[in-house]
Amino acid sequence: MKGRKKGHSLPSPFTLLFLCIAGYATAELDGSEEEEHVVGAALPPLKLVHSFCAMKADDGPCKAIHIRYFFNIKSRKCEEFEYGGCHGNENNFLTLEECQEKCVVLPLHIKRGKPDFCFHAQEPGVCRGYFTRYFYNKETKLCEAFKYGGCLGNQNNFRSLEECQATCQDNCELMNSSSPAEEHPNSVNSSSPAKEPSQSPGIFEPPSIPSLCMTPMDRGLCRAKELRFFYDYSTGKCRPFSYSGCGGNENNFISRKSCLRICKKGFNKKKGERRLIKIKKKRKKQPVKALGVEIIPEITQL
């Protein structure tokens, strides 16, 4: 009888306790998941200015202690961390202000009726998708197509050309239409402004380079060190940088020559101009010799 009592009495309390504890734990998990979904739904989608702002804080392999700042995509704020002194990633800033300027989107300032994000560079994001999107190019003042990776990026990203033009390009077109009207009366009244139309194509030639040459340098997401070159649009030069081996953007060339061939248009024109100058100098020397020969017999006759 004792064996039967143990066999019948012991399992029932333990099983009941186990079921109660398991049910309470699952109820807590379900409640926390529901709360997380509610909080997440209240927040607007995060859109970054640069893809490296989505990288985690990386202190690097060195052992120094430097106070730096990184952008935390979870808190959506720039936070402090300890940097080891070497390597790491681009989500690493000396000051809090620099971090906020690079990564925090503040759509408060409006320039000439257009949203502030219209002046951001195109950003394909960190994912590997291949979607056609449109962005406003502040250099050409036109909406252009680019390939979007599918995640992150910035707000200068539109699904259709019409949406991009309605948001960013309309005000710019009005400004461009008013500028030629101001140039025409000047060209009629004076001869010097007539040279401006010949100079204007030279002014607008740089934006005709591919849009990839205007994107900022991006090392990528991996840890390799490969020598690559990118076109620095602000200086007009191809500069070397250390590529991590994956990710990044299209402003990435294996050699300086390939960078110059694609992005630095017109650097061969200078050679042609120099040849024209040499030809003009040779033509000027020939009539001088002829005049010298004609003047000598006139002096001898006198």
Q: Round the average pLDDT of the chain to a whole number and report it.
A: 71
Tens of pLDDT along 87-127? 899 999 999 989 988 888 765 444 456 888 898 999 988 88
Residues 6+ apart with CB under 8 A from 168: 114, 115, 118, 136, 143, 156
Tell whether the torsion through CA atoms of 163, 164, 167 and 172 is positive or negative.
negative
| Percent of the residues in the chain that have a pLDDT greater than 70, as a whole number | 56
- Which range in 63-67, 126-130, 231-235 is most confidently predicted, on average pLDDT? 63-67
Residues 87 and 134 in one domain: no
Amino acid at site 236: G
Residue 57 domain flag: yes
Per-residue pLDDT, averaged over 271-292, amounts to 43
pLDDT score of 146 more than 90 = yes
Residues 216 and 278 in one domain: yes
The per-residue pLDDT for 262 is 85
Per-residue pLDDT, averaged over 276-298, amounts to 45
Residue 129 domain flag: yes
Residues 6+ apart with CB under 8 A from 206: 139, 236
Per-residue pLDDT, averaged over 26-32, amounts to 49
Residue 213 domain flag: yes
Tens of pLDDT along 214-266? 888 898 888 889 999 998 888 889 999 999 988 888 899 999 998 888 887 64
Residue 96 domain flag: yes
Q: Which residues pair with 82 in a beta bridge?
A: 67
pLDDT score of 57 more than 80 = yes
The per-residue pLDDT for 279 is 37
Domain interval for residue 83: 51-103
Residue 200 domain flag: no
Q: What CATH number has the domain bearing residue 261?
A: 4.10.410.10
The per-residue pLDDT for 23 is 54
b or e along 155-189 (b: 16 or more beta carbons within 10 Å of the residue's beta carbon)?
A: bbbbeebeebbebbbeebeeeeeeeeeeeeeeeee
DSSP 169: I
> How confident is residue 12, by pLDDT bands cut at 50, 70 and 90?
low
Per-residue pLDDT, averaged over 55-74, amounts to 92
b or e along 84-111 (b: 16 or more beta carbons within 10 Å of the residue's beta carbon)?
A: beeebbbbbbeeeeebbebbebeeeeee
The per-residue pLDDT for 43 is 56
**More confident position, 165 or 7:** 165
**Dist. CA 188–CA 201, nearest whole Å:** 20
Domains in the chain, number: 3
Residues 225 and 264 in one domain: yes
Residues 6+ apart with CB under 8 A from 151: 125, 126, 127, 129
**More confident position, 17 or 183:** 17
**Dist. CA 238–CA 213, nearest whole Å:** 10
Residue whose token pair is 């050699």: 255
**Dist. CA 187–CA 199, nearest whole Å:** 13
Tens of pLDDT along 173-191? 535 534 444 444 444 343 4
**Dist. CA 262–CA 284, nearest whole Å:** 39
Residues 6+ apart with CB under 8 A from 63: 84, 85
Residues 96 and 127 in one domain: no
Per-residue pLDDT, averaged over 33-62, amounts to 69
Residue 148 domain flag: yes
The per-residue pLDDT for 177 is 37
The per-residue pLDDT for 130 is 84
Residues 279 and 258 in one domain: yes
Residues 174 and 227 in one domain: no
Residue 302 domain flag: no
| Percent of the residues in the chain that have a pLDDT greater than 90, as a whole number | 24
Residue 43 domain flag: no
**Dist. CA 237–CA 163, nearest whole Å:** 34
**Dist. CA 206–CA 231, nearest whole Å:** 12
Pairing of strands 226-232, 66-72: unpaired
52: which 2 tokens?
């490296």
DSSP 166: I
Cβ(260)–Cβ(239) under 8 Å? no
- Which range in 35-39, 141-145, 273-277, 282-286 is most confidently predicted, on average pLDDT? 141-145
pLDDT score of 157 more than 90 = yes
The per-residue pLDDT for 300 is 45
